[in-house]
Amino acid sequence: MYFNTTEIEDLRTGLSKIAPKFEALRQRLFMHDFRTDAAREHAAHGLVRRLGDMTRCVERTFQLLPPDLADIPERTTTLDATINIQAFVMNAFGCCENIAWIWVNEREIKSPDGRPLRPAQVGLGPDYTLVRDSLTPSFRSYLDSRADWFAHLKDFRDALAHRIPLYIPPFTIDPADVDRYQQIEAEKTLALTSRDLESYERLKAEQVSLTRFQPVMTHSLDQGAKVVVFHVQLLSDFVTIEEIGEVVLDELAMSPA
């Protein structure tokens, strides 16, 4: 197994907290007295819908590839988990957009010429200066403290949407075993050519014994992309977005500056 017993228990505990966190924020968003219909829509039909989808994505990924998995999973199982993770990442990025739109509409943030902000101007990341400048110092400081997380999310989302999709390797091989793995591949071909099925099956079993599954994901295998442990990352991303949702509601509850 990739995780030890303590880590597995911690991950299961983290998973058990996801649905209650979603429900608590959902109730708070529905009960908040939004000033504008646009903000209310981004809350109820944007943020809440996305968080619900993300909750299911986390639960399903843990079901398909549990933290205590010891064997190499079926390829279709890994693909199903990949699809859930891809959906999670896109919705996580979308949640940040919904939160930004909630703020912009409730605080009536405009361009310097008085026009409504364009979609390309609305977001929570550091590049969205008009939105960032409208925040309270405490809210801006909070988002600044999450700069690395925003960069991570943007990197994975941009790769997924525009470049190389997220990928869970079906298995990994210890670098010390790579030469033997490749040698076996050549020997398997020879065994099939000579119709020596007994040798082929023996070689196949030896080859499988050199592989192991690691619960990691990345996008590009050749561009120095980060490799992350997806059980940990999914829980961390969900909790971060839930926290940002709580913070923006706290900010909106205060009178505008």
Where are the domains positioned within the chain? 5-170+227-253, 172-212
pLDDT in tens, 67-96: 999 899 999 999 999 999 999 999 999 999
pLDDT in tens, 88-134: 999 999 999 999 999 999 999 999 999 999 999 999 988 899 999 99
SS (H, E, C) 27-65: HHHHHCCCCCHHHHHHHHHHHHHHHHHHHHHHHHHHHHC
| Residue showing tokens 């080859």 | 207
Q: At what angle do helices 230-253 and 5-31 cross, to 10 degrees?
A: 30
Q: State residue 174's pLDDT score.
A: 81
Position 256 confidence tier, pLDDT thresholds 50, 70, 90: low
- Rounded CA separation 27/44 (Å): 10
pLDDT in tens, 133-161: 999 999 999 999 999 999 999 998 989 89
Reported for 152-158, long-range contacts at CB under 8 A and 24+ positions apart, including other chains, are 152/226, 152/228, 153/89, 153/92, 153/93, 153/96, 153/237, 154/93, 154/125, 155/225, 155/226, 156/89, 156/219, 157/89, 157/90, 157/92, 157/93
Mean pLDDT in residue range 1-27: 96
What region does 224 belong to: left with phi over 0, alpha with psi -120 to 50, or beta? left
- Rank 72-86, 195-209, 216-230 by mean pLDDT and report only the highest: 72-86
pTM as predicted: 0.88
Q: How far is CA 254 from CA 24, 87, 157, 249, 251, in A?
A: 20, 34, 32, 9, 6
Q: State residue 245's pLDDT score.
A: 97
Structural contact between residues 55 and 18, judged by C-beta atoms closer than 8 angstroms: yes
